[in-house]
Amino acid sequence: MLGLWALATKLIAFFVMVLQLPQSMSHNPTWCCVNTLTGHSHWIHSVAISEDGKTLASGSADTSIQLWNLSTGKSIFTLTGHSDFVVAVAISKDNQILASGSYDNTIRLWNLRTGQLISTLTGHSDFVNCVAISPDGNLLVSGSNDETIRLWHLNTRQMISILTGHSDFVAAVAISKDGSLLVSGSNDKTIKLWHLPSGQEIQTIAGNSSFVNTIAISPDGKTLAGGSADGIIKQWNLKTGKLMCPLIGHSGDIQSIAFSPDSQTLVSGSGDKTIKLWNLSTGQVRCTLKSHLGAVYAVTISPDGQTLVSGASDKTIKIWHLSR
């Protein structure tokens, strides 16, 4: 009897300990790679998922864009026309338009349903590194090696304004969910906040120790995150401007970041060939995904939060599903 009582006491103590563990330790979701897509012949630089969760777009150094059925992993279209690396893709919220940015200094607009080219936008004098489409579908934003950000009217294809202020390459742009805020990250080691409707600069965030490669705004509009070449992800409270807990754990540069739809998790892709998912309430790593054989240049999460897509220098795209 005493032996059984001692065993029962130990079991109770164990379960109490488990219940008292932080959420990030006691319950971490598991992400499983369910498909590897191999249609590109060179590095994958960018990926985007349509708002309806059906279509995946990927841009590659092979100068092409591939459209995929996200559920089956089957190729739908191969879009050609760019004459240099395709390093940025974005899909409008109505699932109608795909925008692509390239080192050929142009932006191309495509019909997502048919794969047909709609228009080619010219104006940048150097590489186009990033593109974003406003939530209402009216504006396209592009950032370039020419140190400018350009705003375009998506329906008329006309350029509206040129935003200047960065002193080096504009590497990343992001738009808040309500469409009021534009954020840009640059090789000048700064992040700038702009009032998107007017194009007026609101604030410059300095103090980064290295190039800002990627930025993201949380869906709830509370947090700005930026990933740099020093391997650190920094976070700021967008209301107060206060620097929050940095996310440290990658051993290579941060190439891409994305927030989960509930704003509770940040996903990061790095030159160290890994993907990390961070618990933003604790600043701890939920899990590390290590399936790629090269630098992870692109990550994105589906609107329902159940699918993660990554693209890398190993010429593959990997699709990950969440299992609890």
| pLDDT for res 247 | 98
Q: Is the pLDDT of residue 80 over 50?
A: yes
Give tens-digit pLDDT for 203-223: 999 988 899 999 999 999 999
Q: Is the pLDDT of residue 179 over 60?
A: yes
pLDDT confidence band for 24 (50 / 70 / 90): very low
Q: Is the full-model pTM beyond 0.85?
A: yes
- Average confidence (pLDDT) over 264-288: 97
| pLDDT for res 27 | 53
Identity of the amino acid at 294 = G
Distance of alpha carbon 14 from alpha carbon 317, whole angstroms: 41
Q: Is the pLDDT of residue 12 over 60?
A: no
- Average confidence (pLDDT) over 120-124: 98
Strands 317-323 and 296-301: unpaired
Distance of alpha carbon 320 from alpha carbon 36, whole angstroms: 9
| pLDDT for res 203 | 95
Write down how long the chain is: 324
For residue 57, what are the CA distances in angstroms to 6, 62, 89, 109, 182?
59, 14, 7, 13, 23
Q: Where is 15: in which H helix or E strand?
A: helix 2-20
The DSSP code for 263 is S
Give tens-digit pLDDT for 91-121: 999 999 999 999 999 999 999 999 999 999 9
pLDDT confidence band for 10 (50 / 70 / 90): very low
- Average confidence (pLDDT) over 35-45: 98
- Average confidence (pLDDT) over 39-52: 98
Q: Which domains does the chain have, with CATH numbers?
A: 27-323 (2.130.10.10)
Q: Is the pLDDT of residue 31 over 70?
A: yes
- What does the mean pLDDT of the chain come to? 92
| pLDDT for res 32 | 96
- Average confidence (pLDDT) over 230-242: 95
